[in-house]
Every structure is written in C-alpha cells, then in structure tokens.
Amino acid sequence: MERTKQYIVQIASLTLILLAGIMLTAGGSGPPPESPVDKYQRSWEHRALGIQRTLDLRAPLSRAVFLSTHNSYNSSEYTTAASYWDPNHNHTIYDQLRLDVRQLELDIHWYFSMQGWPWNWGKKPLLCHGQNNHVGCSTYDRHLKEGIKEINNWIRRSENRNEVIMLYLEEHLDGHYSEALNVIKAYLGDLIYRPVGSCQGIPMNISKADILNSGKQILLITNGCSGNEWSRWVFSGIADRRGYPESNAENFRSYPDCGSARFSRDDYNNYMIRFYEDRTNLTAWFGGGSGKIYSGTMAQMMQCGVGLASMDKLTPTDGRLQAAVWSWHPGEPNNWGGNEDCAQQWGNGRWNDANCNNSYRFACRNGAGNWYVTNASGPWRLGDHYCSTETNGQYRFAVPVNGHENRLLHDLKRARGASSVWLGVSDQAREGAWTP
C-alpha cells in the first residue's frame, strides 16, 4: 500500500513538471514583446518634447503648447460589434498620454447603457461619438468612468507628477451634471485645479508652474456655463474670450500670416486656440474632413504659436510628433564629448547643445516679448551681462518658450548677420535637466 502511494506521488509530480513545460513553451520564456508605444518612450521625439514642456512651464498658458487629440475616447482599441465602429484613433487614452498628448477631448452623453444588465442598466454618462440629440450613441459605449480611470492610472505614476494635462469635456448631459462630476471627482478630484467661483474661464495669465505649485495637475474645460456645481469644477472656456476658441484645421493659414477665418496672429498670443481635424469615415462621406493636420501643417502651427493642435490617428511613428519639436535639431542634445551643457540656436533655427566656453552672440528678450541679438560675443555665462549692458537693462538673456518665439528670434538673428546665438537654457546643474 505504501509503495502504491509513492507511485501516485511520483506520477503527480511528473505530471506537474510536464504541464509547467507545456505552459512555458506556449507562453515563451522571455518577457512579452515591446509595443510600439514602449519603443517611442526611448525616442528622440519623446525626449525633445519633454524638454520643450519645461521651457513653457512658467510661461502664461496663452504661450504654452499642449499637444492634443480630437475625440480621444473614440479608438479602435475599444471597438466592439456594437460601438466605436468609426474610430478617430488606434490607441487607448492611456497610450495617447504616453505619446506626449497633454490635452484630451471626452464627449460625455447622458444615454441608456446596457452595462450592468440586467441589474444595473439605465441611463449613465457615456463616452459617445454622437450628436447633440445623442444620435450616433450606442448602449454599449464605454462608461465615463472607464476613460477617467485610464487618465488616473497615468497621472498617478511617479514620473508624471510634474505633468499638467487639460481635459476638454464636450458635455451632452441633459442636466445630469452631478452623475458625471461624481465620477471625475472620485478618481481625480484631488488633482483638479478649480475655478474661483462659478462660470469662470481659464485665466490666460496663470502658468503650468502655478498649477503644479498649488498641488494640482488637471484643468477641466468645457464650452459654456451650466450654472451649477459643474461650473465650480469645470472652467467655462477661455477667460476674456467667450466660449472655447476652436476651428477646423482647414481654416489655418501658415507663417508669417498665421491667421484664419476666425483668429488673428495676436489671438495666439492671448488665448489658447485649438485647431482640430476629423479623419473618421462618417465625416468624409458627408463632405467634411478637408482640414487635415499633416506633418507640414503641424510644423507651421508650431511656428505660429498654436497652443492646441488636435490630431486624429496619432501613432508612435507619426511624423507630426517630430514636426511638433520646434526646438532641438534631430539627435540633439547629445552631450558630445561629455561637455556640452549650454544651448545655442544654429543658423537653421534648430538647437544644439555646445560647450559653454564657446563664443557666440546672445539672444535677449524684453518684457514685451521682443528679441534682441547682442553685438558682443562670449561664453554662455556672460549672457545676462551683455544683454543688459547693450540695452540699458531693458533686455535679459532668454530662451524661446514656443515655436513662434523661436521663429521670430531666427528671423532677427539672420537680419543681424548672426549665424549662431546662445540661448538662456542649460543643463549644467544636472545632466539632461534643461533649465531656463
């Protein structure tokens, strides 16, 4: 009897070993394959865009840039037999944030949902690509909570604690604001930078640094004012400009005009202007969608200082991400030789990191945003001295914070006969931490 028990134990052990071997063979012995979004995290574009976000950290929001996606929730990642048949995107909300998007658009509809059937179905706040009357919504569209959880999972990561994002909420809630707001507050409430009072537009003179210094990271914005608790959490458009200033990308005009049918170049200095595209089949079928944001369009929008370029079908290898880098030359900064810690603008307007002891002229800016290029040349550390001395203290050694400022400096530099100029930004204090 004892021998029989031993045989049984041995057979059982061999069976477990065989099963484990089969599972390892089927699943592979190594880590899962790297996704294209994972690879993007190591790209030059990702690094350069991250540095750019530090440049406008203390600039007024009217001069800051938030890369944006249009109808961010409408992705093929969520497509089912009953919903999201005509997606704007191929990546999740979470992965769009990993692709350096810092403004997301969520359309929220109060609509009948089959989620929770048969015990908990009924009307809920859904992420829906529908019209004002909810035509186009599906009872199987995702709950608002699912999109908000993705945002929460990304922004709570330690590496994102200094990031500021904006959520544009296009609401079709039929008065059911509290149901949607309770979802948002449950996950993100402690991170939301709230209006002062009710029905306030986002003040254009605050900066991302102001938001972070208050312990917050998220701005909620919508178009219009509901006059209830919703309006004490969600900004009602842009301050001093009624509603939310936006336009189809087909209306955008390139540099140096930079205007459109609705906006002037000066509007970009004073407000966050949004240009969006729509690449859904439905829009194309009905004759819309002619305004596309291509790589060349994105580069022009950066040169004009457009704060919100809102894209469809963004991918990790998308040329528009490279075009959104208005500063560094591809591959820079590279700290060649281990002693390149100061930034210069080359003759082509792109940036390079150079040895701080090299001798170049200096880029200077005054309080009105005008640029000046010094006559004197010298090492980087003398920038403030020469900028102040040559202008009687009216100008300071400075660095552009957006693509329009960079283009204006480039044009002035050429007019002044300068090939390269020092910029007021370096990573001398800590390698890779470029500080204006």
- Note the pLDDT of residue 292: 93
What would the two tokens of residue 124 be? 């809920």
Query: How much is the pTM?
Result: 0.90
**Can you tell me the distance from the alpha carbon of 215 to that of 41, in angstroms, rounded to the nearest whole number?**
26
- Note the pLDDT of residue 18: 44
Cα radius of gyration (the chain): 26
- Note the pLDDT of residue 24: 38
Chunked in runs of 10, what are the mean pLDDT values of the chain (436 residues)?
A: 41 42 48 90 98 97 96 97 94 98 98 78 92 92 97 98 97 95 98 92 95 98 87 89 84 92 89 93 69 96 96 97 98 96 98 98 97 98 98 98 98 96 97 93
According to DSSP, residue 32 is labeled P
- Note the pLDDT of residue 290: 65
Q: b/e for 204-238, b at 16 or more Cβ within 10 A? A: bebbbebbbeeebbbbbbbbebbeeebbbbbbbbb
According to DSSP, residue 250 is labeled G
Q: Are strands 351-354 and 274-276 parallel, antiparallel or unpaired?
A: unpaired
Q: Which domains does the chain have, with CATH numbers?
A: 36-323 (3.20.20.190), 336-426 (no CATH)
153: region left, alpha or beta (phi > 0 left; psi from -120 to 50 alpha): alpha
**Can you tell me the distance from the alpha carbon of 288 to that of 236, in angstroms, rounded to the nearest whole number?**
28
* Residue 229 contacts residue 245 (beta carbons within 8 Å): no
**H/E element, 166:** strand 165-172
List Cβ<8 Å contacts ≥24 apart for 369-377. Answer: 369/269, 369/405, 371/398, 371/405, 371/408, 371/409, 371/412, 372/412, 373/409, 373/412, 373/413, 373/416, 373/418, 373/421
Q: How many CB atoms lie within 10 A of CB 37?
A: 16
